[in-house]
Chain A
């Protein structure tokens, strides 16, 4: 509808920034200037108790870190400016967030901290949660905590590391697995909410969407589509956040205790975690790229992509069944609802995969290997930084005392969904479709 300009939405900025970066790195590779981006792509090396080694690592990375900060600060600030938000506040907030991310990445590279299974994602979350729930953070700092913008940029960059052929092969399996889990979990939460706990059907649908489709984004999309009350959407989001944060720690822990391979573990997280950002944190905590790939295929392709279809179905139900009207007399629902609620950043993810796959396919084997090292390598590192900013932002912004208060009934209905979703996700990822997920390279 009117006043809904594309350039005011962070989905499109994530696409522009992610794809723009991929194009720049690709052009630099062919111009023989890939070194610029290789310098910026800082991976902080491992260290133990030797502080002189740490000093050497950090001083050797200083030029790269400064250029990384300046580059992302500029591109994000342009987006923030066009979206109509305060650039000075964002600049301060992003610089502070970046410094935190350097600190966390440095600590995460420490041998002793790694021995405690505190990899960078988990460390970023823990530090963010502790600080965010203990201290009152200044407004200017909050302006830099753009969880969704960072995670979406990371997902678009993720597309560059996934061959399009893999996406095409994964599509049917991921969609089938997601459909099974989403429909069963949605039904379990919706029917327990409305039949057992006598909640309003719109509230039940919003809770069910949060627990089965794609977390907060789904609660927002479905809450809007079925015109749920604002407080019902807030309670549903609170449920998603509480369970999603718990699952960031629990799913990787269970996967390790059960001795799961990275592919099935990632697919399980993609099936049973509630939000994209939280899911990436959990998948990264597995500590293997295959888990992140399986997670992305499962969550982004299998689940996120279909939120628009769910929204259309629920919107039609809302104006007909829940308002006791026939289709002929009910308010007209536009099929455009599917596109309106579709998470647009997914297009950037696909475009990134197609672009990079096309470039690699057009090169001879030797140049393609060099491209993977000099171009895709830095893009993976930038993705890692985008996710570290995401995990820190989740931690800093998840203030439990600011979540909505809720009664036991929505909590119980959501818990029914979790009790079904988690074991079902395990069965599908580790038994039914295990061969496929084991094949992810």
Chain B
């Protein structure tokens, strides 16, 4: 694997710049290089974003300053940031698991909606009576959310495994279908007085919040961070263990790195494809359930400002490492929280796009190095 030097013979007799850029394949990978390259890429992305904001007549530094203050400025807003980070952790994990096997699940958004629907069905259909205790109610909601999300992952997973149907497009199409499906239930079945929301769930269907404990610890008053964050952190530990310490995770990573070798080693690719898509869907479903139970306390339209898509960027930025998904999600949670108030409305999305672009463009620096070398004197 060598790349030929770019400096070929050139016409003689003219004065030339005595150095040339040379691109060489990296044989080593210095410790920490990947991290620094990622940080550099984000820095460049933020500068580019600032440039665009400047060009459309905004004040980028004010906008960035506002984002930083409105997301991490004090304990209250940081708690809100964590609320936004909670679904992001779970969808980020959903994407990481699937991407690790090179399954492009772009459908976390739809699986999120289905998870929310599943959690709502058990409450609104009366499957869980109002008198049921909180742990029972929440457990049933969680399982229903996982089930609905997993089902939404199963369909494209099965199509991919059995019929070789491209999962990128099917998962994406399933997003639109899920959102229309949820809208049907919100408007047509459970609408509360004609509004685009259902009735509020009973208290036993709400995740506990930090502010619920303000009686014992007054410092927690007004903090909205809910139990979903704990679920997210637990999930990231479980996913890390599954991927890096279990036989199944080894199989997934092997398929992702080298499907031929995995097949020769006897890995059942069909079964793993379906399983991974279901696990991925279930994680995104938990995100939807957690948002319903921890934040909105009912089912309504537009419960996600594109969490499922941000999950893709988070997974990539975390290099598909489940542990890294947590801090990256907190950063993006801040961006989404603070970005809500920024005009024009597309700014957070634009910045996310630029960050992802810079990240993948910067990966070339991990594989190659660019050196300035002296041009050899021509004999």
* A, B assembled together: no
